[in-house]
Structure 1
Amino acid sequence: MRSIAIIGAGQGGLQLAFGLLSDGYEVTVYSDRTPEQIAAGRLPSSNGLFGRAVARERALDICFWDGEPPLIEQTDAKLTDPEGHLAVEFTGRFAQYGQSVDQRLKFSTWLEAFAGRGGKIVYGAVDLAGLDEIAAVNDLTIVAAGKGEIAKIFSVDQTRTTYQRPQRSIGMISLINTEHPAPDGVSYNIRPGVGEAFGIPMLTAAGPAVTWVMEALPGGPMDRWSQATTAEEMLELTKRTFADFFPWEMARYTEAHISDPNGWLCGAVPPLVREPIALLPSGRKVVGMADVLVLNDPCCGQGANNASTHAEVMHRLILDRGSQPFDETWMQATFDRFWDQAQYPTKFTNTMLAFNNPGSAPPEHAMELLATATQVPEVAHRFANAFNDPSDLESFFYDPELTTRYLAEARARHELRLRGRADLSAAGGKG
């Protein structure tokens, strides 16, 4: 039985651990916190999983909240002009529903379930010396602790890293006692020169919530999150942000309050890509995964989905390896296979950041596509589903010629559908 150590108990590490355990591997997960500590900790992420990632959890029998509301069934997008007046507004439905479960609830439950299925868990922080000792006694050691210091042993890949510093100052808060419409979905707002705000329906220990991720241009008028030192201050800042920049969101949150005293977080994310292999002092090598290697700004909600994708890739390649050694060539291949998919959400995220960065503006063809989405439902739905599969954007979003061709075809189909409905209505009237 081959032994595999996974450093980190997040989306990617735990998903992979469950998969390998079910296939008969000896799996040890190293978590720096116990389930109780995770459950009592700070809100770590918005953690919106789209349909493909939810399906992976379902296949592993770890989708413990499958179908439990609130679900992510659509995206309600709003884009203003520079003065703050709504310029574009549309709703796109997802072909498969997504879901967000508070990671404090999710990961604490997953750790207990993993132990219940026979997996081994070691609690406590892992430093470089400890990592070397772990690598010495396992066939493969995987570092999946993207937010920990140990991730820094992996060098930054400058050829794939677009930004050298965080592009947004971020405030996040989980609100309960809010309206949950049916169908429910992500509220996605873009305010030029200010930033973005997106609300994600989330299941928390306190019940259904909406977790808001508010991304301010650094130094801009919405860059106020450093003022928050308590949950009450964060709630007040959030409501003031709605009033100042996204007033259409205010009515829904008049009576809202925070899910729990730790249901908020402020900070910044440096988008980067790292090299997949780290050399330890002993000469042993370990491989990274998920946001250890590809860390995107949360503006397109791709972080947990990337982690899910990488876990699936790693799982499959470990199985394919059989009894052969997990050498450097194999480690590099795991990343290359992952990057075949991760390049698309990375490009999508960086493109959407550029839409609203100082000195840049959305390309005309992209704005035409978003404007068309207000009139042609097919375009709205396709753009929304790109959050689930960003590779589709290559065929209609980035290239002006492809965009023009797609929009012409979509408009023609829309007109045909309208004529068909008119003909049926007329025929019914005659009958």
Structure 2
Amino acid sequence: MRSHNLLATVDAIVKRPAAAARWPGIEDVRTADDLRKLPLMSPDALEDLCPPAVTDLALDSVDSGMVLRSSGTSGKRKVLYHSWEFDTRVTHLGARGVRAALTTAPRRVGNCLYPGELNGAFSFAQDLTRRLGAQTYPLGTSMRTEELLEVVREHRIDTLIGSPAMGADLLSDPANLASLASLRTYLYIGENLGAARAAVMAVAIPGLRVRSLSYSTSETGPIGYQCPFQGDGTHHVHDDAMYVEVVDPETGAEVADGEEGEVITTTLTDTGMPLVRFRIGDRAIRHTGGGCACGSHASRITLTGRVPRSLNVDGATISQDLVMAQLRGVGVADPVDCQFQVRRAPDRGFDVLLLLSDRLAVRPTGDEVLRRLREGYHLGRVFAMPGFRGFTLRCVPTTDFVRNTRGKTPFFVEL
């Protein structure tokens, strides 16, 4: 099936010279091995080809279909033209993934994702719920908690779909739990759950099934899904509809099984805006050997984080990896448990606020963390600048972390 879809994808691209010109040599691709000879495509390169200014990559979606915009966590925000046929494919893969993840199908589903602003996640959840034959409650993200709880209680909603942060917030308050007695499943999307959030949800409702709704991006649609035997971050790949590589980011060569690399995706579709060897901005470990306890032999990847995110502070560029390398020395290992805020002052000075989850087992002091951060070669430059005014460490509930409108929790924040 994958080989058939790869050939259909290549033939569709070759028939559109403007698209074929973006991947020199694509006309010779007939196998996955041939595909690896093509150059990687960066998010910046895709941004330069985004509609409406450029429609070279749109095969049949210039005048009909759905227009989406990426969240921008991997670089510039990108606009995508998806045809209605591609959108149907997205819905099918999403529903297939949920069926694989849950032994009991959801019946009443509350959709707590962010609607609008060219964000496709809300409509994705609506459409796949319809495909599952369940009843949907389009709750969104602006409903007051009291009203949301009332709807869940009165209609006996058994499944909620939302961000990891939203789920952890809702379940961390003991006062909410009586109204959530009917809840059996929480499906999250947009970012990894993380150990701290998972622990909160496991304690709140014992036996609650907390699963990934889909490993998906606005650019590609669903890439992978979780079966009951996979934990947070590990997904089976939709091998028939997506070709996924895990490569060395410097050389582009595929890494060995069990090693970490950068995720590269090729959408196997002859409609919408196909992407060939696209760098989606994630890092993962590839597992190719053997099958899974669920019976599937589809390949698996374990997401380990984003390709290093960076922030420029008065000329000094720092990355998430640089910060985490220093924080590991004080027992903080997961980026979802912290947020690095730079707060600007009117006099062009700045101070740094580091938030840590209060669910962490460790409680380092501010002096200890600042000393560690200063020890980083590039990171230390930030704290030696004339404009640096001070450093504050706070251990707080993750509800206090700044979030964007789509419910994601960025690692770097400028205020």
Same fold (TM over 0.5): no
Question: Which structure shows the bigger proportion of residues in helix conformation?
Answer: 1
Higher RCO (C-alpha 8 Å, min separation 6): 1
TM-score normalised per structure 2? 0.27
